[in-house]
Amino acid sequence: MNSFKRIVSLIGVLLFVFSGIVFAQEDAKGCKDHPMFTRMPNFYIENCKEYDFDQAEFVDEKGNEIKVEGKYHWLEYYIKEGHKSPSELAIMRNYENAIKKIGGVVVKESGGIAYLKLNKEGKTFWAIVFPRGSGTYYELTVVEKAEMAQEVVADAKSLMSDIQSTGHASVYGIYFDFNKADVKPESEAAIKEIAKLLHQNKGLKLYVVGHTDNVGKLDYNMKLSKARADAVLKELVMKYKVSAQRLKAYGVGSLAPVASNKSDEGRAKNRRVELVER
């Protein structure tokens, strides 16, 4: 009888251990493949991370390290028990062939890592394939390149502080469609703070100055920046009842950058509206 109990107990332990192995080889809760790629056969997702906005380090065609920001996906795949793992090179080649089939390119192979890129429907995707452990596991990182949605805008107090200390203040959070001068609705918070600044400081008169990056011809950007400054001025006068006599609109195109136009981050900083004390 005691022998029977020991056998039953042993079977129970084995079933528990086996079930743990099977469970451990299922995808981690909440994790799924990136829609751009399927996974290597007989692999499961051990871990994942996903952020609306983050950055990853890539290598460009010349071997330079660059940082790409945007929607971020990171996945860690492991081979399932009882299956033979592919070589690290086989994992890299599979993903390289996959990106080519959908119109992408292999940017660089460096240090056993593949850097991939895809331009599709106006979006740019960067991917890193990093095989490890002789092919027993690998990491996949995909970043859909994008600028961060500006959620924090300067308030009236900080704008006035900048004007008092430097004579001008940069305003971010005013948005326009590409090549257009119509103020988008999501600009309301920033423009409301400019109006608040003017209502709180009755004697303040301002130049509203539009700035662009250096993409496109200078003459065109000069006209576009002036049209956008005019649009902001109109919003302040028509919607927030600021006297038009206190405001003048100008556009300087790309002639007064605050950062290098050689990077996406720099160009984003250069596309702005400035308030300059008259």
Could you tell me the residue ranges of all domains in the chain?
17-145, 156-277
How is residue 171 written in tokens?
A: 């305003």
Long-range CB pairs of 182-191, under 8 A, 24+ apart, other chains included: 182/231, 183/228, 183/231, 183/232, 183/235, 187/235, 189/153, 190/153, 190/154, 191/232, 191/235, 191/236, 191/239, 191/240
- Examine the pLDDT at 253 and tell me if it is beyond 80: yes
Q: Residue 126 and residue 119: Cα distance in Å, rounded?
A: 9
In this predicted structure, what is the pLDDT of residue 19?
A: 43
- Examine the pLDDT at 9 and tell me if it is beyond 90: no
Mean pLDDT of 174-187: 83
- What sections of the chain are H helices per DSSP? 2-24, 88-101, 156-166, 188-200, 218-238, 264-270
Mean pLDDT of 103-108: 94
CATH placement of domain 156-277? 3.30.1330.60
**Range scoring the smallest mean pLDDT among 119-123, 136-140, 217-221, 252-256:** 119-123
In this predicted structure, what is the pLDDT of residue 175?
A: 82
Work out the pLDDT band at 123, boundaries 50, 70, 90: confident
Cα-based distances in Å from 140 to 77, 125, 132: 8, 13, 11
- Comparison of pLDDT for 185 and 7, the residue scoring more: 185
